[in-house]
Structure 1
Amino acid sequence: MKRRTRIVAYTAVVVAVIFSVGSVLLYNATPKPKRLLETVAVDFTTGDADFQRSMNLIFEQPLVAGNRIAMLEDGEAIYADKLESIDAAEVSITFETFEFWGEKAAGPFVEALVAAAERGVSVHALIDYYGSVDAEADKFERMLDAGVEMIRWRKPSWYQLARFNHRTHRKLLVVDGRTGFIGGANITDRWLPDEDGQAYRDHHFRVEGPVVGNMQAAFVDTWLDASGRLLLGDVYFPELEAQGELEAQMVTSAPREGRHRMRKMLMVAIATAEQHISLGTAYFYPDAEFLEALIDARDRGVEVNILVPGDSIDKGFVRHASVNRWRPMLESGVAIYEYQPSMYHAKLVSIDDRWASIGSTNLDNRSFRINAEGNLNVFDEGFARDIRELIEADIRHAERYELERWESRPWHKRLAGWISMLAGAHF
């Protein structure tokens, strides 16, 4: 009996030692990239060549000329345009999304992707596992049976448990390597009107021109990570001619691997602002340094407008945690607006009517550090003005959150905010 007890004890010690040594080796083999720990100070603005050159080189993702971008508003229009492009596909479709479920929303996409595969189009679908847990299993079976190469990103497995929380939050669709779609809208019934006519408010964009190749490269990189296979050739990367006058840059961000680009990108852009910063985001819970960058901009006379969801937000705990940290911004004159008609889900940035960023990135820790994200930066006065005007049009359906309201919040909302903050808000 004593011998058995000693064996069990020795085994426990050996396991503990192996676990400890393994943990040390793991964390040393996969170092975390250092975050930007202070606000950025620059001597140039969005209108200077130094800004474009810095953004081009710092993020190692090129600025590409000759593009055209069309704006799409809300689920019905967004889905219709995407489905029309899928139906017209001749050689390839690459599709990446976070949420994917619902008979009204996901159903038509399944049928369109199946039809494309059956007529000989190479179809690759990368669908986040967590974001598609509500989808019926037969939808995935139907796609696979038709020849769609479909992978559910980060499906739970024993060897990937440490990365299960690393979701793909991108919303990318590229058809024939020539037409790309990017923006905030997932594929679920929430983006379509319900019985009361309510639907998520969102914006998406159809892109044509050489930068579509960079959008395709973003998908191919994640597909390689998911499948071990590399997509190459003119089926995916045809020669692309200029389709417009816009200069654009596809920027990607991913957990680990030293690719936390979105927060750094936005902090550099905020530091260049001279006149106004307009932000539209579904979830607003950045870190203290990011909030300080906005306050610094306001202190130097920049108009700062932030549009977020109101009571209709689908993750109330994020809102409570966010509001708890608003006082310094409100005192500095940062204007925060809460959208009233429905859940506001857009991700829009415009600075000085010179630079805009559109895509999947929210202004929160999850987008900055945990998710795979993709944004398209556009260096154009007209386009940046259009993005600002999109935000301002939605602000007309919002209520400004005043300092007096913050100070008079009931105790239970303050408590909910503190609990959410302690829990990490958006993890």
Structure 2
Amino acid sequence: MLFNAMPKPIRLQSLPTPDYGIADPRFQRSMGALLNYPLVEGNEVTVLRNGEAIYSAMIEAVDQAKHSVSFETYEFWGEDSAGALSDALVRAAERGVRVHALIDFIGSRSAAPEKFERMQAAGVEVELWRKPSWYQLARFNHRTHRKLLLVDGGVGFTGGANIANNWLPEGDKTYRDNHFLIRGPVVASMQSTFAESWLDARGDWLHGEAYFPELEQQGALTLQMVNSSPREGRHRMRPMLLYAISAAQSQITAATAYFYPDQAFLDALRDAAQRGVQVRILVPGDSIDQGYLRQASVNRWGEMLAAGVELYEYQPAMYHSKLISIDDQWASIGSTNLDNRSLRINGEANVNLYGEKGAAMIRELIDEDMADAERYTLEQWRQRGWSTRFWGAVGSIIGPHL
């Protein structure tokens, strides 16, 4: 039953051609209407850099929970990471908090079964997403890649980090990542995203004050939740990004763990560079955890490099963050990589930031990491060895489907 390893048909057949930019009210109105999520004012975003800061903030929030905890992730394993968070979820459930954990079956396959048994015994409602069963084998490859934690419906976390020991200090192997703590009215949209997944997984309807309290404004940022899934009508990430890239007027700055989008997406980046937009993309270097995907990606860089797209490879460690900022007016953060799996196969969740304050903050995060990267040039691409070309060709066969 592996036919679902093939992506769904492309829903957006031609690139948008807006005659206005990111800051134009027409862009914002279109994003709100087409993505089916409102733009919400009055929010604040706190940046959490790398695993120790991310996990400690999440555990602190769970330990302060009074009514509900909603948790969704892809990877979940490791005693120091998943073990510590599962302990916090158990403590919350034991004091009467309603705790829901939606964890991907494939991403958690390395987890000790005792973690799940202990959580369930304490009252945590645990659901392993797409655990093999005869009635949903056709959807087995449709993983949840979302990274969401909601506490009392008023505090939200999202970003690039899974819950696994790769994100904790282990010499040069520690993954570089960003996560974000969000407060304000947009957290209701984050909670509804989880509630939709929970309904699909469990058939339960989450409702009421424990999940959707009245939320006051907390800051000055305008944010928008975006939820994407393989189901028809919910492929939101790819058209959203293509629309934003097509509206770019001065700069596109992106960072991604995996860079293997379809040809139309590559064409959009190339076209942006050709019309004078500075396009910079930060990806992992040799330390990437899926080397075949890097080789397959590199084989497709020629036209982009020739058009002026700037590609940078992060050197110190595996780079896992997923960020994009355009014209210092719009940015998107969350779980979505710039690859086929994120754009068309996985369930993903992002938060968009509108306005200079938020978008510039995200660009500056990428700029900081670009200081630890090396630019990959067109000359390097032309001189890459035959081994690189061969394994890149091999990787390109399976790259779009994994």
Alignment TM-score, normalising by the size of structure 1? 0.91
State the 1:37 CA deviation: 2.2
State the 1:257 CA deviation: 3.0
Q: Contact 2:260/2:399 (CA < 8 Å) preserved in 1?
A: no
Stretch deviating more after TM superposition (253-262 or 335-344): 253-262
How much is the aligned-residue C-alpha RMSD, in angstroms?
1.4
* SS of the residue 1:226 aligns to: helix
Match of 2:25 in 1: 49
Whole-Å Cα distance in 2 between the matches of residues 384 and 32 of structure 1? 31
* SS of the residue 2:316 aligns to: coil
State the 1:47 CA deviation: 1.0
Match of 2:376 in 1: 401
Query: What amino acid is aligned across from residue 100 of structure 1 in structure 2?
Result: F
Match of 1:14 in 2: none
Pairs within 5 Å for 1:361-400: 361-400=336-375
Is 1:292 paired with 2:273?
A: no
Whole-Å Cα distance in 1 between the matches of residues 70 and 165 of structure 2? 22
Whole-Å Cα distance in 1 between the matches of residues 160 and 61 of structure 2? 18
Is 1:190 paired with 2:171?
A: no
Match of 1:26 in 2: none
Is 1:201 paired with 2:201?
A: no
Identity %: 60
Is 1:92 paired with 2:68?
A: yes
Pairs within 5 Å for 1:255-404: 255-404=230-379
Match of 1:246 in 2: 221
Is 1:145 paired with 2:121?
A: yes
State the 1:39 CA deviation: 2.0
The count of corresponding residues between Structure 1 and Structure 2 is: 398
Is 1:216 paired with 2:200?
A: no
Task: List alignment gaps of at least 5 residues for structure 2.
Answer: none
Q: Contact 1:318/1:425 (CA < 8 Å) preserved in 2?
A: no
* SS of the residue 2:107 aligns to: helix
Q: Contact 2:67/2:210 (CA < 8 Å) preserved in 1?
A: yes
Task: List alignment gaps of at least 5 residues for structure 1.
Answer: 1-22, 24-30
State the 1:245 CA deviation: 1.1
Q: Contact 1:318/1:426 (CA < 8 Å) preserved in 2?
A: no
Match of 1:160 in 2: 136
Q: Contact 1:277/1:302 (CA < 8 Å) preserved in 2?
A: yes
Mark the CA change 1:246 to 1:65 in structure 2 (over 3 Å): closer, same or farther. Answer: same
Match of 2:208 in 1: 233
Match of 2:392 in 1: 417
* SS of the residue 1:130 aligns to: coil
State the 1:34 CA deviation: 4.7
Whole-Å Cα distance in 2 between the matches of residues 268 and 409 of structure 1? 33
State the 1:380 CA deviation: 1.9
* SS of the residue 1:423 aligns to: helix
Whole-Å Cα distance in 2 between the matches of residues 301 and 315 of structure 1? 33
Pairs within 5 Å for 1:62-101: 62-101=38-77
* SS of the residue 2:19 aligns to: coil
Q: Structure 1 runs of 4+ off > 4 angstroms? A: 31-34
Whole-Å Cα distance in 2 between the matches of residues 232 and 303 of structure 1? 45
Alignment TM-score, normalising by the size of structure 2? 0.97
Highest Rg: 1 or 2?
1
State the 1:198 CA deviation: 3.6
